Amino acid sequence: MNIPEHAAKALLQEAGISVPAGAVADSPQEAAQAATDIGTVMVKAQVPVGGRGKSGAVRPARNPTEAHAIAGDLLGARVNRHRVTEVLVEERLPVAKELYAAVLIHPAGPARRVVLSERGGVDIEETARTDPGSIRTLDLDPRTGLHPETAQRLVARAGVETAAPAVADVLVRMDRLHRDSDAELLEINPLAVTDAGDVVALDCKLVLDSAAAARRPSLAAAAAPEPLTRLERAARELGLQFVELDGEVGVIANGAGLTMTTMDVIVHLGGRPANFMEIGGDAYTKARPALEIVLAQRGLRSLVVNFCGAFARTDVMVDGLTGAWTELRPDVPAFFTIDGTGSAAARRMLEERLGLEPYPTMDDAITAAIRACGQDAA
């Protein structure tokens, strides 16, 4: 879950980390008003996308007229898959030095990892290629917080001289915010040292662990809506894992691994998958709504149903699917493979209700499904 920059900065401020004066605007008029109040500003599209400066989604404005024009440009525009509905109009500060600071999850530890680089304002991936020596990292025991003295040692030699204590203090506060918000990533890039010697977060990326949403309801409510298609949103509301793609062969399978693999084999055998639809895990009782969503995709020419039951019982999934099929009577041909938990009963049900026999292997079912697309075209 991505927290929009302006909301993340409000959290930084609550955590005692300085941010520039700013206001959120959803119209050019509001942006101009904010610029009138603040002075020289940056106008920043509120989209969770890196490299906004380069793509023109963040631009400087010297006066309210410019702020009005830039906001007019940005609002309603698309940056990658995200539509801009808000801009952050923020004070432009004279910057002496830009740092990179982050707290992230290091899975191999596992640990919370604090990262500091004296090269701020560029992607950390780029710095890792061009100047890896400038990146300092520190792995923390997941059960404890960053100690101020440890933070000071990390900051020493970062070339920030008199600002070092303030930077160390920011790291300690970032680490605490990371823990308290169940974050996956808290990144401040750049963390600026201003001409006046203040340490200020000019940008902020905060990604929360969606598994912790239930115990962080107010944070979860602040998350930016994901850029989903209409069907993806419908699936999400039903608790289904669904990703719409642009191919012709629909996919319903159980489990993330098997569903991805079904897509992979479709591509390997020369077809194009229409979607990812997973009904394993807790979703194995939701075969019916899953089928409805997959069938609602435009461009669908055939359907592969690939079940290999472990936790997800194939008899329950096929029951739901065939029940819905007989009511919906779709004109899309379906090609099944059924193995694993409950497969004997599932195969019987498929035969009785749809008169279909599952294919012996997924490759066979997929080959037939791809061929069916071709016949349609001819």
Binding residues for another protein (CB under 8 A) = 105, 107-112, 125, 141-143, 179, 182, 184, 209-212, 214-215, 241, 243, 245, 253-261, 263-269, 273, 276, 278, 280-282, 308-312, 339-341, 343, 361-363
Distance (Å, whole) CA 86 – CA 88: 7
Residue 121 CB, shortest distance to another protein, in Å, is 20
Angle at 70 between CA 69 and CA 74, to 5 degrees: 120
> Residue length, the chain?
378
Q: Are 266 and 277 in contact (CB under 8 A)?
A: no
Residue 243 CB, shortest distance to another protein, in Å, is 5
Pick the closer one to another protein by CB: 267 or 296: 267
Pick the closer one to another protein by CB: 93 or 242: 242
Pick the closer one to another protein by CB: 113 or 353: 113
Pick the closer one to another protein by CB: 96 or 368: 368
Pick the closer one to another protein by CB: 43 or 258: 258
The strand ranges marked E within the chain are 2-3, 22-25, 41-45, 58-61, 78-79, 82-83, 87-91, 95-106, 111-117, 135-140, 183-194, 199-201, 205-208, 241-244, 249-253, 275-278, 302-309, 334-340
Residue 10 CB, shortest distance to another protein, in Å, is 22
Pick the closer one to another protein by CB: 351 or 363: 363
Residue 17 CB, shortest distance to another protein, in Å, is 20
Residue 236 CB, shortest distance to another protein, in Å, is 11
Sign, CA dihedral 178-182-184-186, equals negative
Q: Residue holding tokens 């740092």?
A: 99
Residue 285 CB, shortest distance to another protein, in Å, is 12
Residue 135 exposed, middle or buried by CB count within 10 Å (0-12, 13-18, 19+): middle
